[in-house]
């Protein structure tokens, strides 16, 4: 992972050639705070990264601070042999030393524009380096909690910048020989590491620095996103409730409709009587099976059976009903008992006697008198 750290520039020395040289503390052990976005973790606002002494003071890390190109601001890419002439304005020396918790290197600015920027107030340094982030949390020996550990630190370049991460703790010249004159052309202005910004928070004006403004902006966006998500969830919930209410209302309407279709005992008896009368009339008009037919279908079937299909073709139901009533009035009503028994009872016509019964009676009388004699 490629990272950038900042340290301030102060009290350089000018050489006879016009170069600007100094010693600067450019790295330290301990905890530094990064934005989560810098470490590929936009879900985190800030990350406390611990630099153990064994990582900062390892031979490979210390060697990576020697003979590094210096740049005026950070270039858009890491510096290498192919682009060195394009970005380099100076370099670091090879006398890299460290004390209890800091690393010091000599450096030289050789480009006149970069020196002029320094003289105009550009005072701090920023490391451009790569490292591995071990997402292991814990507590330092000094009792400070951290979220991750920085390992395999390798410096790529050292940039002159307006503002640095480390503020005024590290400054070029901290390790210079006591009493050495400051040969810079202009006195140093007062350090101004962070500019004030006014942020509107819930209708209130809050004065903070760049980092605070960025943190507040991120929190405000997270709050807005949460409110949007909550609004969407509430709308979905209301839609589900409305759908269930509509379903319940539909079921209630169906139940009320079914209740209205239930017949009382008296109404049922009346309906049975009316149905029986209709079937009786229909069979008087035309004797056939009317099982399973509605009242209208019974009337139509009776008329068709009596007069044929042409009699009802294209006619409305009211016409068919009137035609049925006329036919039923002119038909001889049938015995309801016969209708109930399905016409299984047949009537036998009386046979004329023609004296046969009297002859049989006389014969029976003579036979009886002979037996008595």
Q: What is the pLDDT of residues 127-156, one digit of tens each?
A: 888 889 999 999 999 999 999 999 999 999
Mean pLDDT of 288-303: 92
Mean pLDDT of 108-117: 94
Residue 203: left (phi > 0), alpha (psi -120 to 50), or beta?
Answer: left
- State the pLDDT confidence band at 112, using cuts at 50, 70 and 90: very high
Of the two residues 303 and 4, the one the predictor is more confident about is: 303
Task: Give the residue among 138, 163, 136 at the shortest CA–CA distance from 148.
Answer: 136
- State the pLDDT confidence band at 82, using cuts at 50, 70 and 90: very high
Of the two residues 361 and 113, the one the predictor is more confident about is: 113
The CA angle 11-104-152, to the nearest 5 degrees, is: 140
- State the pLDDT confidence band at 354, using cuts at 50, 70 and 90: low
Q: What would the DSSP string read from start to end of 76-133?
A: SS---TTTHHHHEEEEE-S--EE-SSEEEEEEEE--HHHHHHHHTT--EEEEEEEEEE
pLDDT at res. 190:
35
pLDDT at res. 309:
92
Query: Where are the chain's structural domains?
Result: 2-192, 194-262, 267-347
Pull the structure tokens for residue 304: 């068709």
How many other C-beta atoms are found inside a 10 Å radius of the C-beta of residue 39? 18
**% the chain with pLDDT above 70:** 71
pLDDT at res. 188:
36
Q: What is the pLDDT of residues 213-224, one digit of tens each?
A: 667 777 878 888
């Amino acid at each position: 992972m490629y990272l950038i750290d900042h340290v301030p520039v102060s009290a350089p020395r000018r050489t006879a050639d016009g170069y600007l040289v100094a010693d600067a503390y450019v790295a330290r052990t301990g905890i530094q705070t990064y934005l989560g976005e810098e470490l590929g973790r936009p879900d985190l606002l800030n990350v406390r990264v611990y630099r153990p002494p064994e990582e900062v003071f390892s031979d490979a890390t210390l060697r990576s601070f020697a003979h590094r190109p210096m740049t005026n601001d950070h270039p858009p890419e890491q510096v290498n042999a192919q682009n060195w002439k394009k970005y380099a304005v100076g370099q670091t020396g090879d006398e890299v030393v460290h004390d209890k918790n800091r690393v010091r290197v000599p450096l030289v600015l050789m480009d006149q524009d970069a020196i002029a920027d320094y003289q105009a107030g550009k005072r701090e340094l920023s490391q451009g380096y790569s490292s591995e982030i071990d997402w292991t949390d814990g507590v330092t020996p000094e009792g400070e909690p951290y979220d991750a550990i920085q390992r395999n630190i390798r410096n790529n370049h050292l940039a002159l910048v307006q503002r640095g991460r480390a503020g005024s703790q590290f400054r070029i010249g901290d390790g210079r020989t006591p009493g050495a004159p400051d040969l810079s052309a202009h006195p140093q202005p007062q350090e101004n590491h962070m500019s004030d910004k006014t942020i509107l928070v819930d209708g209130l004006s809050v004065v903070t620095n760049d980092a605070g403004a960025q943190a507040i902006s991120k929190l405000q966006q997270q709050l807005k996103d949460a409110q949007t998500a909550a609004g969407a969830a509430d709308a979905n919930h209301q839609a589900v409730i409305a759908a269930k209410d509509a379903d319940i209302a539909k079921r209630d309407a169906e139940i009320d409709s079914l209740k209205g279709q239930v017949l009382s005992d008296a109404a049922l008896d009346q309906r049975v009587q009316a149905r029986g009368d209709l079937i009786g009339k229909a069979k008087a008009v035309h004797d056939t099976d009317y099982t399973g037919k509605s009242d209208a279908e019974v009337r139509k079937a009776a008329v068709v059976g009596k007069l044929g299909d042409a009699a009802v073709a294209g006619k409305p139901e009211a016409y068919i009903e009137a035609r049925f009533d006329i036919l039923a009035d002119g038909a001889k009503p049938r015995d309801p008992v016969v209708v109930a028994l399905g016409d299984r009872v047949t009537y036998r016509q009386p046979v004329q006697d023609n004296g046969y019964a009297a002859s049989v009676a006389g014969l029976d009388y003579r036979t009886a008198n002979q037996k008595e004699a």
